[in-house]
């Protein structure tokens, strides 16, 4: 016999939320996700009604779910939402997701703006992979460095005050472990979700899905009929992130709720680190670490090549492009 939903006591349950022991029907599950995201946004004062929010939408489940949730939950606040999409230039992979995003945005009535790596940096990811001087410079570190910059530029060009990304709770815990194992303690402090203003025009970055399990986002997307891309990028590298992902999922199976407990502890650690006066970082370039440019609490400097904010003389994007084109 099927179980009844613990919330409405009317419908059949479709999901057992292991960490809380609740059985939920489709409607109550969808509502619970939207409620949790709304609560996260209000807890960390992520969006206010005068904001123009650039939502980074790739075509994957997380970012499309984020757009849908923002559209559904911000009705009373009514900020302007603009879906921004980055075309990395990966033939046969990105084309499908660009279509998915375009069609979904049309369906829910949100403007979609796209910019490509070729337009901004003069080369696509396909080209970058052909010319990279060594496999030690990983595909995802090149791509991630360029994508962060592309998102910033496109957000500025649409006049956004906030950039929302689809990072979920699993991503947040994995990022903590990556920083911990890399000895990057200061960077842990930067992950505290106070939307810090930085760069030209004081753009803020927010992660409204940071308290939602990845698995529940898949379920949310399926039950709200969001079409998302499932095909994997051909350049996806088997990074340490994948290893942590597998380990954390195994732990969660044996100890339901362990990822959420870890998340809560990490928040406390990140807050203390963020408030500590020594919140700076050594952004030395290594062959595998192309690093980031913003150092919270540190005086802004400008990259000598592109004139964008950077804590180094040359920003990570210009260094990456130099390595790709000059091999140094």
Q: Which residues bind ligand SF4 (CB under 6 A)?
A: 88, 139-140, 143-144, 233, 235-236
Closer to ligand SF4 by Cβ: residue 24 or 154:
154
Do 227 and 100 touch, CB atoms closer than 8 A? Answer: yes
Closer to ligand SF4 by Cβ: residue 88 or 186:
88
* Interaction between residue 321 and Zn ion (CB under 5 A): no
Q: Which does 138 bind (CB under 5 to 8 A by kind): Zn ion, ligand SF4, none?
A: none
* Interaction between residue 318 and Zn ion (CB under 5 A): yes
Minimum distance between the CB of residue 54 and ligand SF4, rounded to whole angstroms?
19
Minimum distance between the CB of residue 117 and Zn ion, rounded to whole angstroms?
15
Minimum distance between the CB of residue 316 and Zn ion, rounded to whole angstroms?
8
Question: Which is nearest to 178 in space by CA: 246, 241, 125, 88?
Answer: 241
Closer to ligand SF4 by Cβ: residue 105 or 143:
143
* Interaction between residue 315 and Zn ion (CB under 5 A): yes
* Interaction between residue 270 and Zn ion (CB under 5 A): no
Minimum distance between the CB of residue 297 and Zn ion, rounded to whole angstroms?
21
Closer to ligand SF4 by Cβ: residue 144 or 256:
144
Question: Which is nearest to 193 in space by CA: 180, 210, 216?
Answer: 210
Stretch that binds Zn ion, among 46-54, 181-189, 279-287, 310-318 (CB under 5 A): 310-318
Closer to Zn ion by Cβ: residue 281 or 303:
303
Q: Which spans of this chain sit near Zn ion (rule: CB under 5 A)?
A: 303, 305-306, 315, 318
């Amino acid at each position: 016999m099927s179980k009844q939903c613990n919330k409405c006591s009317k419908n059949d349950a479709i999901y057992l939320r292991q960490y809380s022991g609740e059985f939920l029907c489709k409607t109550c599950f969808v509502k619970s996700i939207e409620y949790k995201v709304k609560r996260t946004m209000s807890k960390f004062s992520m969006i206010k009604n005068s904001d123009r929010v650039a939502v980074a939408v790739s075509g994957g489940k997380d970012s499309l779910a984020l757009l849908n949730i923002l559209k559904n939950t911000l009705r009373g606040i009514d900020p302007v939402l603009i879906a921004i999409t980055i075309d990395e230039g990966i033939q046969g992979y990105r084309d499908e997701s660009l279509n998915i995003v375009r069609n979904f945005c049309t369906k829910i009535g949100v403007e979609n703006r796209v910019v490509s790596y070729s337009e901004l940096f003069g080369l696509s990811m396909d080209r970058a992979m052909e010319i990279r001087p060594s496999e030690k410079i990983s595909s995802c570190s090149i791509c991630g460095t360029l994508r962060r910059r592309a998102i910033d530029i496109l957000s500025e060009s649409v006049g956004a005050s906030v950039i929302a990304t689809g990072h979920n709770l699993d991503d947040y815990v994995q990022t903590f472990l990556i920083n911990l194992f890399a000895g990057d303690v200061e960077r842990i402090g930067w992950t505290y979700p106070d939307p810090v203003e930085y760069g030209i025009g004081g753009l803020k970055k927010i992660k409204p899905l940071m308290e939602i399990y990845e698995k529940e986002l898949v379920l949310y997307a399926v039950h709200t009929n969001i079409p998302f891309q499932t095909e994997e990028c051909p350049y996806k590298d088997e990074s340490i992130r994948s290893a942590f992902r597998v380990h954390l999922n195994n732990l969660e199976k044996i100890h339901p709720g362990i990822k959420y407990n870890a998340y809560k502890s990490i928040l406390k650690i990140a807050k203390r680190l963020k408030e500590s006066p020594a919140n700076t970082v050594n952004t030395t370039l290594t062959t595998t670490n192309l690093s980031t440019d913003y150092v919270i609490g540190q005086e802004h400097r400008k990259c000598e090549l592109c004139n964008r904010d950077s804590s180094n003389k040359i920003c990570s994007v210009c260094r990456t492009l130099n390595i790709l084109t000059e091999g140094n």
